[in-house]
Every structure is written in C-alpha cells, then in structure tokens.
Amino acid sequence: MKPAGQMTLTLTAELEQFVRDEVRRGAFASSSEYVRDLVRERYMKERDRAAKLQALDAALSRGIADAEAGRTMPLEEAFKTLRAELGLPDQTYDE
C-alpha cells in the first residue's frame, strides 16, 4: 500500500473546536479522518462535475456536427417526436 501523504493545516480556533467536537461526539475517529472525509467528499463532487461537463461538451460537439452536416429538423417536429417518445400528449399552440 502506498504511504499516505502528510499535510499541516492551520485552522481558526472556532474551526479547530468544531472539528474536535465532531470527533468527540463520535462522528469520526480522529481529526485526520474528519478532514480526509471532507476532502474526499469535495474531490468526488469535483470529479463528478468534471465528468458531467465532459459529457455535455461531447453532446454539444455531436449536436454542432449534426447541424453542420444538415441533420436537423424543425423545432415543432422535434418536440412532437420527444413527446411521442415520452408518452406525452401531442400539443398544438395557437398563435
């Protein structure tokens, strides 16, 4: 197993007391465990965000390529198709 890295953190007195209170109430075994949990949670959130942005970029690229290749349809037709695929009633709009 790869050895863990070490960091030194400086917290305000209020934040230090908060961490100590969390450990004392049994939420975490140690201050280090608490900080690791916070960092892991943030890391996972950022990783998920990056993956969603990458998927969005790919979808936009496909859409742009389709439009440039002429693979488009009128908006009303697109909505009608989507409503049919989702099992929603067809809607018509009066102008």
Q: Can you give the pLDDT at residue 1?
A: 62
Average pLDDT over residues 64-75: 94
Amino acid at 64: I
pLDDT at 84 over 70: yes
Q: Can you give the pLDDT at residue 90?
A: 84
Average pLDDT over residues 55-61: 97
Q: Can you give the pLDDT at residue 33?
A: 96
Average pLDDT over residues 30-38: 96
Q: Per-domain residue ranges for the chain?
A: 13-86
**Mean pLDDT over all residues of the chain?**
92
